[in-house]
Chains A and B, each alone.
Chain A
């Protein structure tokens, strides 16, 4: 059969693992993973090629496959409008739209995002009911029982840290992956928010960050103004993991293209296993790989147990292990006890970094609690803590976004009887 070359050209820096679906004339469709170029054999005749982007868009092109073969090309272009990371994995920003040329349906232009308040004078900008103005922004480092907050922006002075790359519509924070890995990081935004009934209250939005992310890739946070969530600081954060294998999977999952995420499972498994084998190289990456495997398959129990044992200070490591033990549950008491211990340890370590982790923490603890004949105060406290986080979480986000009352941050240190939000 003649060759069909699938090619993604133009932007040398992209080199992502993307999913293409090839639909030849006389054969069933097949899925191909393409970085820059891939060649497959297809029958003579017409073939439809779809390139599925992590942002949720699908680009299509048709080719005539002759005896000599054919080439289906998609072109990426450098763009001033988007950072490399936005191009990779942001389903919300959909920056690929500007970067790929292909056969795509016209999409009505989106309304411009509201301008972010970048100067103190922007306090006067009109804002709707339920929307406040960000009072301060900071990067919190949590270790032991201490929180050290590095200010990034203070509205009262209008001073913003150099670490923030600011544009009219967004702020980007590029995070150094070389930090002490037992340290937890969160971005904190405070604001006075106004409810529909006119009452005001001080709120703190904590955005848990998947750092340190070791290796060649890092993490960027792109902040935009967002007035859609009532009673919450008006910020929306895209947390972008700059990893060419894992990044697209997260994008596919976030945009709902689970079929494409499933197609990339071998990449994720390989990468997650690589991270595990190199021990302390990138525990956060291993956690992300485990989450992807939990969503689209089933990681090895020994694999998740090692992860939980080695990185107990990352709640998500314990959560993926407990989730794996309970899905499916083998009915053994020792398995139950191991899962229970992992879930309680996770809640004691603080909020999970990923929203899926928070879901599984609540679900797992609720299962454990309902399955015990006698109450266990630790399980009850852990479940109450997890539920209080869950009720304050933003469900659409990749990483855990929790809105707390006031400015107390004790709950970042995990459950005990006093650490309710």
Chain B
């Protein structure tokens, strides 16, 4: 089974193709976190508290995951992310996504990636660097992006949680790093005269790795899902003050969350990037909308023994009692709030705070 969600819509909908390559039989490096990341993203798409877009609700999710152990979704086996499945299931996804101009076509990829100059390749299960044509088991993402013009969906989002390094053998590799696989270029076969809006959220900058803890999921996917819960939403572009996630807010909100220590890329340098070509569009409307607030004392020792409270006229007070080993991070609705601290010595203090995305930080 690969179609793990199928919710017919009367109008436009989001059609997702989620690919996680957590197992490369020919490569020594483990990639297990990629499979878990793909499943986590699929869960976010399908759960009630996850993806929400009243004008473009979830319609379908096509899921392919390669892992050492057989993967299941809803009791059925998930097919592997090999070349054949990518081509056949990808073509079906492309057809569904192209069924309405106002659809959102979404590709999520987690796995190994390589880059040579401006060319990016996403490696599939059968990739073997020792073979005669290793990139026949890869998606040339640069070509794929160009070919996606052939999909009638005029809003497209691509999430690439993969490394962007250049192994030395790739520099001298003759020819292109594979082809676009499912999306072929042809200017005269374009289904729409409307300009395409597409955004690419990449886990890392060029030359960087996309890191992951061995037993968890990729740091970028974790950060992305955190951002989509509210920090990446803003009301400045909406007509009615609704907090909306638009493509241009995502990478900068993750940067801000990282800066404030709300999310971490603890292993190596990793700066998520936004590329693409778009005006602007609503991708997701978080419900409930939450903003992380990080609260602590200048003196770490005081933080460990302090009691914190956040209250506002619009939500119930939230408290954090000691002991703790780090700042308290609490998710609250965007509003005017009061943050207070009571120290072990009995002293107390409070501060007014305008809670607004992507995140706030309070020091006592």
Q: Is B one of A's binding partners? A: yes
Q: Does A387 contact B (CB under 8 A)?
A: yes
Q: Does B119 contact A (CB under 8 A)?
A: yes
Chain A interfacial residues counted at CB < 8 A: 63
CB 8 Å contact bits of B206-239 with A (1 = contact, 0 = none): 1100000000000000000000000000111010
Whether B251 and A28, one on each chain, are in contact in the complex, defined by CB atoms closer than 8 angstroms, is: no
Q: Does A410 contact B (CB under 8 A)?
A: no
Whether A329 and B190, one on each chain, are in contact in the complex, defined by CB atoms closer than 8 angstroms, is: yes
Interface stretch (choices B18-26, B38-46, B72-80, B180-188): B180-188
Interface stretch (choices B27-35, B82-90, B155-163, B255-263): B255-263
Whether A256 and B279, one on each chain, are in contact in the complex, defined by CB atoms closer than 8 angstroms, is: no
Whether A56 and B187, one on each chain, are in contact in the complex, defined by CB atoms closer than 8 angstroms, is: no
Interchain CA distance A197-B172 in the complex, whole Å = 13
Whether A229 and B207, one on each chain, are in contact in the complex, defined by CB atoms closer than 8 angstroms, is: yes
Whether B279 and A297, one on each chain, are in contact in the complex, defined by CB atoms closer than 8 angstroms, is: yes
Q: List residues 276-332 of chain A with CB under 8 A from any CB of chain B.
A: 294-298, 326-331
Given known pairs A25-B354, A294-B277, A366-B185, the reply for A107 and B259 (CB within 8 Å) is yes
Interface size band for B = 35 or more
Whether A105 and B361, one on each chain, are in contact in the complex, defined by CB atoms closer than 8 angstroms, is: yes
User: Which residues of A have CB within 8 Å of B2?
Assistant: none
Q: Closest CB-CB distance, A4 to chain B, in whole Å? A: 13
Determine the residue in chain B with the shortest Cβ distance to A327.
B195
Determine the residue in chain A with the shortest Cβ distance to B173.
A391
CB 8 Å contact bits of A374-415 with B (1 = contact, 0 = none): 000000000000010111111110000000000000000000
Whether A329 and B356, one on each chain, are in contact in the complex, defined by CB atoms closer than 8 angstroms, is: no
Q: Does A169 contact B (CB under 8 A)?
A: no
Q: Does A176 contact B (CB under 8 A)?
A: no
Q: List residues 85-144 of chain B with CB under 8 A from any CB of chain A.
A: 115-119, 142-143
Q: Does A68 contact B (CB under 8 A)?
A: no
Whether A105 and B261, one on each chain, are in contact in the complex, defined by CB atoms closer than 8 angstroms, is: yes
User: Which residues of B have CB within 8 Å of A387?
Assistant: 176
User: Which residues of B have CB within 8 Å of A23?
Assistant: 354, 356
Q: Does A81 contact B (CB under 8 A)?
A: no
Interchain CA distance A27-B195 in the complex, whole Å = 32
Given known pairs A370-B185, A390-B117, the reply for A28 and B238 (CB within 8 Å) is yes
Interface stretch (choices A148-156, A178-186, A355-363): A355-363
Interface stretch (choices A5-13, A40-48, A112-120, A238-246): A40-48
Given known pairs A195-B168, A256-B255, A330-B193, the reply for A396 and B205 (CB within 8 Å) is yes
User: Which residues of B have CB within 8 Å of A256?
Assistant: 251-252, 255, 271-274
Given known pairs A228-B207, A370-B184, the reply for A58 and B256 (CB within 8 Å) is yes
Q: Does A31 contact B (CB under 8 A)?
A: yes
Whether A259 and B252, one on each chain, are in contact in the complex, defined by CB atoms closer than 8 angstroms, is: yes
Whether B238 and A331, one on each chain, are in contact in the complex, defined by CB atoms closer than 8 angstroms, is: no
Q: Closest CB-CB distance, A172 to chain B, in whole Å? A: 24
Given known pairs A21-B236, A256-B252, the reply for A48 and B118 (CB within 8 Å) is no
Whether A29 and B235, one on each chain, are in contact in the complex, defined by CB atoms closer than 8 angstroms, is: yes
Q: Does A416 contact B (CB under 8 A)?
A: no
Cβ contact of B118, chosen from A46, A262, A358, cutoff 8 A = A358
Interchain CA distance A58-B247 in the complex, whole Å = 18
Q: Closest CB-CB distance, A9 to chain B, in whole Å? A: 22
Cβ contact of B236, chosen from A30, A230, A389, cutoff 8 A = A30
Whether B236 and A28, one on each chain, are in contact in the complex, defined by CB atoms closer than 8 angstroms, is: yes
User: Which residues of B have CB within 8 Å of A30?
Assistant: 236
Most buried by B among A296, A298, A363: A363
Cβ contact of A395, chosen from B118, B235, B248, B354, cutoff 8 A = B118
Whether B207 and A48, one on each chain, are in contact in the complex, defined by CB atoms closer than 8 angstroms, is: no
Whether B353 and A62, one on each chain, are in contact in the complex, defined by CB atoms closer than 8 angstroms, is: yes
Interchain CA distance A90-B205 in the complex, whole Å = 16
Q: Does A367 contact B (CB under 8 A)?
A: yes
Q: Does B321 contact A (CB under 8 A)?
A: no
6 contacts between A and B (CB under 8 A): A256-B251, A262-B280, A294-B277, A328-B193, A355-B118, A389-B117
- Hey, which bits of chain A sit against chain B, CB under 8 A? 21, 23, 25, 27-31, 45-48, 56-58, 62, 105, 107, 130, 195-197, 228-231, 255-259, 262, 294-298, 326-331, 336, 355, 358-359, 362-363, 366-368, 370-371, 387, 389-396
- Hey, which bits of chain B sit against chain A, CB under 8 A? 115-119, 142-143, 146, 149, 166, 168, 171, 176, 184-190, 192-196, 205-207, 234-236, 238, 240-241, 246-249, 251-252, 255-256, 259-261, 271-274, 277, 279-280, 336, 352-354, 356, 361
